[in-house]
Amino acid sequence: MCPPLDAKSLRHAAVGARPDERRRVLEEAAGIGGLHARRVEADAKLRAAAANLARAEDAHSGLEARLAGLRRQACQAEWHRDLSARIGAAEAGLLTLACARAAVRSAATAALVTAHAGVVRAASAIATTEAEAAMATALLPVLREIATAARTAAGRARLAQEYHQAAAARRRHACWTRWTRRSTTPTWTASAPCC
């Protein structure tokens, strides 16, 4: 800081100085010489704050994009869980049908063996043949009942599978509806899951 100036030296300094020196002398005389430095410092702080704000906004937009991706992944995971449940129900239906077929085949094989034994015994004695024919006739209602039970089980399995498929379709529709309420521009293709 310069020593205090009297009026004569102030006039002399103001008249013979360059414009920037004249301004500095006048600011010193008015007592506002430090304001320029403080203004420069304040401008630097504002620029730093603006840079920090820009970085924060960039980080925020990056996190929003990541959140949208995580939401899509969560919806896809829900779709895969639903698909796994449908596959499990279909496999259970197939297993039920396989068991029913095995039971029918076993009963049919047993009836065939019994009928064949009856034919062999019929060759040796007519009386034995009549008894075996009566036994085969007695087994026929049981076989029909087994076949009817197998058809009923197959029909129930088919109904259960259709129910599970309809429930899965409702869940996919609900997921799609929730998603479209949140976002108006879908980012997935027709082959992708619901979100």
The answer to pTM > 0.75 is no
Which of 11 and 185 is assigned the larger pLDDT?
Answer: 11
Q: How far is CA 16 from CA 11, 21, 39, 136, in A?
A: 9, 9, 28, 138
Confidence of residue 2 (pLDDT cuts 50, 70, 90): low
Residue 1 has pLDDT above 50, yes or no: no
Place of tokens 């997921």: 175
Q: Kindly report, residue by residue over 14-69, the tens digit of the pLDDT.
A: 677 788 877 777 777 777 767 777 888 889 999 999 999 999 999 998 888 888 88
Cβ(101)–Cβ(150) below 8 Å: yes
Q: How far is CA 57 from CA 15, 34, 53, 124, in A?
A: 52, 35, 6, 100
Which of 91 and 1 is assigned the larger pLDDT?
Answer: 91
**pLDDT for 46:** 92
Q: Kindly report, residue by residue over 110-166, the tens digit of the pLDDT.
A: 988 888 886 676 567 787 777 778 888 888 888 888 889 999 999 999 999 999 999
Place of tokens 């088919």: 158
**pLDDT for 159:** 92
